[in-house]
Amino acid sequence: MLDSADGSGLQGARVSLLNAKDSVIKQAVAQADGSFVLADLRNAEYTLSLTYIGYKQNKSKVKVQGRDLQLRFSLATDFTMLDAVNITVSPPPVVVKGDTTEFSAAAYKTEAYADADALVAQIPGVEIDAEGKIKAQGEDVQKIIVDGKEFFSSDPAVALKTLPADVIDKIQLIDEKSEQSKLTGFDDGNRRKIINIVTKPDKRHGYFGRLAGATGNEDRYNTGGFLNAFNGDRRISGNILSNNINQRSFSSNELVGASSRGGRGGDGGTGSGIGPNHRIALNYSNTWWKEVEFNADYHFNTSDKDLIQTANREVLMTDEASQFNVSSQQTNRNNQGHSASVRVVFKRDSTQRLTFNPRINFSRGKTSNANNTRTLDVLQELINTSDRQNRGDNHAFTIGGSIDYGLRLNSSGRSVSAHLENNYNRNTNEAFALSHNMFYTNGMVSRSDTVDNRNDSRSNSTLWNARITYTEPLGAHMRLMGNLSHRTNNSYSDRRMYDFLLATGQYSELNRELSNEFRNDYKFYGAGFNYQYTSEAFLFDLGIDYQQANMANDRIFPEVTRAAHRFINYLPNANVTYRFSRDRRLRFNYNTATNPPNVLQLQDVVNNQNPLNITGGNPNLKQEFRHAFSMNYNSVNRRSGANFSVGLNGELTDNRIVNSTIVAAVDTFILDNVLLGKGAQFTRPVNVNGYYSVRANTSFGIPIEALKINLNANTTLHHNRDVGLLNEVVTHTNTFGINQRIGINSNISRKIIFSLSYSGNYNLVRNSSNDGLSNNSYNQQIRNDITYIFWKGLRVASSLNYGYNTGLAAGYDQRFLLWNASIGKKLFQKEEAEITLTAFDLLNSNTQITRTITERYIEDARSNILQQYFLLSFTYNLRQFGGRAFTH
């Protein structure tokens, strides 16, 4: 059952089968794709009544004569025209269709030529943070699609920066089912949040885009743009960006450096350094023969970043006083990456679906690092020092893909589906290390040494994963599903350490103790079944899988050894969904999974290129066993557009792979020629029980018509219990936290754009083995963005961001006020161009401090970040639809 206008499925539509006396014999409810099944009918003539709120009723005669019927129906929107009366009806702000919540773009106002993110950010329950990450109804958005088709699917932020707001008709928040559920129709409860942008029909033919360039003081520059060519189903989109101000996306404001959503200096705000950045993204999609959907993506990026960082790390000892690592480093990273993917979907009527999705990635990175580290005791006396220089060259290559096929065997729900996946990874790395290390006793130097070596490593892995599934209906409301699965993963790693020989001036002496050639073979066989019961308002799904896994570890060099492990697991799963109404839904999901260790964790080789933190592998690792549950309630008010969601998520992992760390109290040999100096650490992975995490989240969004604003509020409570080993003693680090965010976005007019937000985080850290090791920290940000367009196209924009941090290490607490501002003049008759002067960090106060919490340490770090600069820019927006210029 489909919408006659756009062909979309009408989930929730009621289907009634009537006899000659108009008595209801059977009823059904349409699924997400509009399909429905009425089974076990006697041969006779019936009336089929199709009803859906907001649509005209459709009554059709059908005749059953001993064979299955596959019929196609559509419903038209219900409206009435009155004589001599003109009625203008605004589209409803929100419509709920099963797992889809749809918002009308006409209910929200954006600046002319604004990007899609400016519109999406106004949707109640949607948040976009300073890094461009999107949350909807409290969940991370995994993908953006356009008109139901893939669109820069690997990067949602790029997708939102490529579409302008003025081509959008509707925005749909969708809880997308897994590929398995789509193929079989058997809901496994796995969901991911995606956004579907529905474009206006008259904007699907034409081209539109933006070009911009900016130059500023201190040789700052920013240039780039995007172009879209839409011709019905055929769509070509491209982005290009080049700058040295750490911008990563393509919005008009960010292209000129005055972003209201650009954070604190683009990706410089993440502490990754400062330097030039160049990106290209291409997307092509088309539909052929009405059966084949084709989509292709290509991404290229290259960057050259310089990072300057100081850090204070408190190492959480057990019953002893903490140690403190104080470090400073300068790092240069030169990275280059290519990635491409293709997705082809073949649909033959409603009975067959074939999806082919190949992918390829290539990356190269060069890194050089100079680091100075001092380790001190609680009295601030030196334990050791290290001056290190490292450089490396890494190449990584991945190729793979998947094929999914689904076949419906009859209209009653019998089906078979298959999944086949293959991935091949290859990685090579050459790393050089030179370090001078000194160790102290009672404040006096007791020993010094030098490490000078080269580590050559290469690894590869091949993964095959296959699964076949069969579903069998048991009447109108019940079904069974059975599955068989098989997975193989063959991994190889060869690591060779060469010491520097002064006599030859080369890294020519192989260090056998620090070299290793290793192979891991992992295979599992699985089988399982699920029982499902569905009704109009209720879905219940319960199942269990049996899994047998075999893991073989073979060390080939320097000595030959072999170890084998066998694991047998039972993996239960459950999924319950209850719909109180079309607008309110409760969903519970529980699942289990195993996770085997990778070859680098298993390989029993010691790496001493950082003498203060020596690492090793563990070939006796077991696979992890993870339990995860989620419970979510969603409610939407279709009249006002307000929505409310609350969620509870948890995870418990048995045999979790964590770090076991030994901190040497005195100089200790870990191998015949590898000495772990006093205060230095030796870390290797082990299996430990006791890890869990719990997170509760509420999200609320509502438009306030009287004030012409949209209000979004989000509250998160979380508790993580990390577990590890320190000096052979199991330790637990409990982190408790609360995050509160509240924001408002204006809906005043296209000339006044206003937003105000507050975000506060409070964290408590408690260490189970030492009551004195506790830490409380708090940080908050208050942000205000305003844009005002007035007399003859003058545009003034301001962005204020106040930040406050406390509870960090000495010298790392901070207060700052970051102010960005710009003034511009719109040009030409349609105001499609603009010249702008932008000032970034007017108060010259931008800073970057981050906190990292693990089971072993708490670290506060300060990184270099862009500070005050100015840009003069020119921006031109292009619009051409239906053979004529587009006018606002």
Mean pLDDT over residues 164-184, rounded? 80
Contact 632/646 with Cβ under 8 angstroms? Answer: yes
Report pLDDT for 849. Answer: 86
Report pLDDT for 187. Answer: 65
Residue 789's DSSP bridge partners are: 795
Contact 209/224 with Cβ under 8 angstroms? Answer: no
Between 334 and 48, the more confident residue is: 334
CA distance 824 to 834: 6
pLDDT at 523 over 90: yes
pLDDT averaged over the chain? 85
Contact 683/659 with Cβ under 8 angstroms? Answer: yes
Which contiguous run of DSSP H or E holds residue 573? strand 561-581
Report the Cα 754 to chain-centroid distance in Å: 28
Between 40 and 360, the more confident residue is: 360
Which contiguous run of DSSP H or E holds residue 254? helix 252-255
Residues sharing a CB contact under 8 Å with residue 120, sequence separation 6 or more, in sequence order: 126, 128, 134, 160, 171, 195
Mean pLDDT over residues 652-667, rounded? 92
pLDDT at 31 over 70: no
CA distance 523 to 564: 12
Between 161 and 546, the more confident residue is: 546
pLDDT at 800 over 80: yes
Report pLDDT for 66. Answer: 65
Report pLDDT for 631. Answer: 94
CA distance 793 to 785: 19
Tokens of 33: 């794709």
Mean pLDDT over residues 408-424, rounded? 87
pLDDT tier at 255, thresholds 50, 70, 90: very low
Report pLDDT for 467. Answer: 96
From residue 798, alpha-carbon distances to 27, 675, 703, 741, 742 in Å are 58, 57, 24, 21, 20
Mean pLDDT over residues 3-13, rounded? 61
CA distance 409 to 759: 53
Model confidence over 125-134: pLDDT tens digits? Answer: 788 776 677 8
Mean pLDDT over residues 530-536, rounded? 89
Report pLDDT for 173. Answer: 87
Between 299 and 159, the more confident residue is: 299
pLDDT tier at 367, thresholds 50, 70, 90: very high
Between 64 and 283, the more confident residue is: 283
Q: What is the dihedral of CA 58, 59, 60, 66, to 10 degrees?
A: 110
Supply the DSSP symbol for 603.
-
Instruction: Write down the residue that tokens 């809901």 correspond to.
Output: 187
Measured from the Cβ of residue 648, the count of other Cβ atoms closer than 10 Å reads 15
pLDDT tier at 67, thresholds 50, 70, 90: low
**Pick from 763, 683, 773, 682: which is nearest to 732 by CA?**
773
pLDDT tier at 182, thresholds 50, 70, 90: low
Best-predicted range by mean pLDDT among 519-523, 637-641, 773-777?
Answer: 519-523
pLDDT tier at 443, thresholds 50, 70, 90: confident
Report pLDDT for 55. Answer: 66
Between 415 and 155, the more confident residue is: 415
pLDDT at 22 over 80: no
pLDDT tier at 769, thresholds 50, 70, 90: low
Length of the chain in terms of residues written = 888
Tokens of 316: 């959480």
pLDDT tier at 7, thresholds 50, 70, 90: low
Between 43 and 230, the more confident residue is: 230
**Pick from 264, 210, 199: which is nearest to 232 by CA?**
199
Report pLDDT for 160. Answer: 80
Using a pLDDT cut of 70, give the percent of the chain over it: 87
Between 15 and 84, the more confident residue is: 15
Model confidence over 188-224: pLDDT tens digits? Answer: 667 788 888 898 888 888 888 899 999 999 999 999 9
Tokens of 743: 């924001």
Mean pLDDT over residues 442-446, rounded? 88
pLDDT at 475 over 50: yes
Between 422 and 158, the more confident residue is: 422
Using a pLDDT cut of 90, give the percent of the chain over it: 47
pLDDT at 8 over 80: no
Query: Largest Cα–Cα distance in the chain?
Result: 104
pLDDT tier at 708, thresholds 50, 70, 90: confident
**Pick from 494, 525, 522, 492: which is nearest to 510 by CA?**
494
Mean pLDDT over residues 741-758, rounded? 86
Report the SS3 class of residue 11. coil
pLDDT at 487 over 90: yes
Report pLDDT for 729. Answer: 85
Report pLDDT for 180. Answer: 67
Report pLDDT for 252. Answer: 42
Between 101 and 522, the more confident residue is: 522
Long-range CB pairs of 440-446, under 8 A, 24+ apart, other chains included: 440/381, 440/382, 440/383, 440/384, 440/385, 440/678, 441/678, 442/381, 443/381, 443/382, 446/678
Model confidence over 570-606: pLDDT tens digits? Answer: 999 999 999 888 888 899 999 999 999 999 999 999 9
pLDDT at 270 over 70: no
pLDDT tier at 716, thresholds 50, 70, 90: very high
Report pLDDT for 292. Answer: 93
pTM, 2 dp: 0.80
Mean pLDDT over residues 40-56, rounded? 71
Report pLDDT for 361. Answer: 96
Report the SS3 class of residue 70. coil
Q: What is the dihedral of CA 316, 319, 321, 325, to 10 degrees?
A: -30
pLDDT tier at 70, thresholds 50, 70, 90: low
CA distance 41 to 3: 27
Best-predicted range by mean pLDDT among 256-265, 696-705, 878-887?
Answer: 696-705
Report the SS3 class of residue 294. strand
Mean pLDDT over residues 838-848, rounded? 90
Contact 283/295 with Cβ under 8 angstroms? Answer: yes
Contact 175/99 with Cβ under 8 angstroms? Answer: yes
pLDDT at 77 over 70: no
Report pLDDT for 566. Answer: 94
